Homo-oligomer: A and B are copies of this chain.
Amino acid sequence: MERATISDVAQLAGVSQATVSRALRGVAKVSPETRLRVEQAANNLNFTLSKSASALASGKTMRVLLLVSGTLDRWFNSSVLQGAYDVLSPEGYDIIPSFVTNRAQLDHYFAELPKNRNADAIIVSSFTFTTELHDRMAAMGMPVIGLDSPSTDGFDASIAISNADGLKQSVHLLHSLGHRRLAFIRDYVPQDMVYSTTTRADCFASAIDALDAGLEYTILTAHTHVNTVEPEELAPELASLVLSSPLRPTGLVVETDELAVPLMKELRHQHMRFPEDMSIVGFDDAPISRVVDLTTIHQNPIELGHSAARKALSLMRGETLERSHEVQPTTLVLRDTTGRAPNVA
């Protein structure tokens, strides 16, 4: 009843350890008959190769780390995981997910885990890095793939979306609908920020400046960080920020759908109608936005996961990527929460 080892299989098949190893992995030259015999023997003994032993002997762990910012049960993160799984799993790789929510945890993660050959590559999602961290990653001795990172610095490869494009699309939409006073809504930005979504506010401002159409805008920030509470708990505060803003914005752009939805709900409680009184644009095209017919900027985190995983695969095989750093386009999804600006003073 003890689990069998490779030599048990070898013995039963009447061949050497080495041949069993070759046959089972389908590499090198093994005659069809031998292969068959080995496979049958392995089957009889209920045998599969030990990952630990293989890893030790070969130097490849067949594991890739996935580090995300924020908990694993968030839509974006779990979708990235699913995407990475889609391409890595068929190739025999295990994915080891983990997450951090602040700079301290991030530092600790990089200080502890990856000094060693405990994985063949790491995919790092949605972080803003310091140059110090870049150096540390570069010294890690394994490919580091960035996903949705503001910079490509320190990454061997990366896949990102263009927050700038997305925000530009939002701004242009609202502008063309006649809105002249816009607001960007976001949650609290920690000093030790690690989230790349925080760059969206800057993109929003840049888009308006670049448009140069005389639009006024303001950036409204909640006091509480959304990761410490549920998004809907921020809604009252955000709503009051919007309604009490001296600018009286008619066009709202929100950092994420997750934030936009409860905000919109709260504003409706305050008798604001969308899009008659106000227009609102989210970001992400998360499933929730379809439910409430929210106009938003589409991105596909599963695809990001695919892309990052493919880059990881190539890098692990020692190939050189023709395009190390790529950017996925974002698209504007028009639904029911945007319309012509109201005729107000």
- Set of chain B residues within 8 Å of A232, measured between Cβ atoms: 290-291
A55 interface residue per 8 A CB criterion: yes
Of B53, B85, B291, which contacts A265 at CB under 8 A? B291
Asked if residues B3 and A141 are in contact (CB atoms below 8 Å), the reply is: yes
Of B51, B75, B117, B288, which contacts A73 at CB under 8 A? B75
Given A53-B56, A116-B47, A117-B3, A72:B82 Cβ within 8 A:
yes
Asked if residues B73 and A118 are in contact (CB atoms below 8 Å), the reply is: no
Closest B residue to A84 using CB positions: B72
Given A85-B97, A292-B291, A56:B50 Cβ within 8 A:
yes
A49 interface residue per 8 A CB criterion: yes
A89 interface residue per 8 A CB criterion: yes
Asked if residues A72 and B81 are in contact (CB atoms below 8 Å), the reply is: yes
Given A50-B116, A73-B302, A116-B47, A261:B3 Cβ within 8 A:
no
- Copies of this chain, how many? 2
Asked if residues A117 and B50 are in contact (CB atoms below 8 Å), the reply is: yes
A151 interface residue per 8 A CB criterion: no
A79 interface residue per 8 A CB criterion: yes
A319 interface residue per 8 A CB criterion: no
- Set of chain B residues within 8 Å of A292, measured between Cβ atoms: 291-292
A15 interface residue per 8 A CB criterion: no
A321 interface residue per 8 A CB criterion: no
Asked if residues A56 and B48 are in contact (CB atoms below 8 Å), the reply is: no
Q: How large is the interface on A (under 10, 10 to 19, 20 to 34, 35 or more residues)?
A: 35 or more
Assembly CA distance A143 to B97 (angstroms):
22
CB under 8 Å from chain B, chain A span 30-89 = 46-53, 55-56, 61, 71-75, 77-79, 81-82, 85, 89
Proximity string of chain A (130-161) to chain B, C-beta cutoff 8 Å, 1 when within and 0 when not:
00000000010100000000000000000000
Closest B residue to A47 using CB positions: B115
Closest B residue to A76 using CB positions: B73
A262 interface residue per 8 A CB criterion: yes
Assembly CA distance A44 to B287 (angstroms):
48
Closest B residue to A231 using CB positions: B287
Closest B residue to A293 using CB positions: B265
Asked if residues B97 and A81 are in contact (CB atoms below 8 Å), the reply is: yes
A73 shortest CB reach to chain B, Å = 4
- Set of chain B residues within 8 Å of A287, measured between Cβ atoms: 288
A95 interface residue per 8 A CB criterion: yes
Assembly CA distance A118 to B54 (angstroms):
11
Closest B residue to A80 using CB positions: B73
A334 shortest CB reach to chain B, Å = 17
Assembly CA distance A82 to B232 (angstroms):
20
A326 interface residue per 8 A CB criterion: no
- Set of chain B residues within 8 Å of A47, measured between Cβ atoms: 115-116
Assembly CA distance A324 to B264 (angstroms):
45
A212 interface residue per 8 A CB criterion: no
Residue among A48, A52, A291 with the highest chain B CB neighbour number at 10 A: A52
- Interface CB pairs A-B, < 8 A, 9: A3-B141, A46-B139, A52-B53, A52-B61, A52-B117, A53-B56, A72-B81, A74-B78, A96-B96
- List the 4 closest pairs (A to B, CB-CB), nearest first: A78-B78, A52-B55, A73-B82, A73-B78
Beyond A48-B112, A48-B113, A51-B116: 6 further Cβ-contacts under 8 Å?
A47-B115, A51-B61, A52-B55, A53-B56, A288-B291, A291-B292
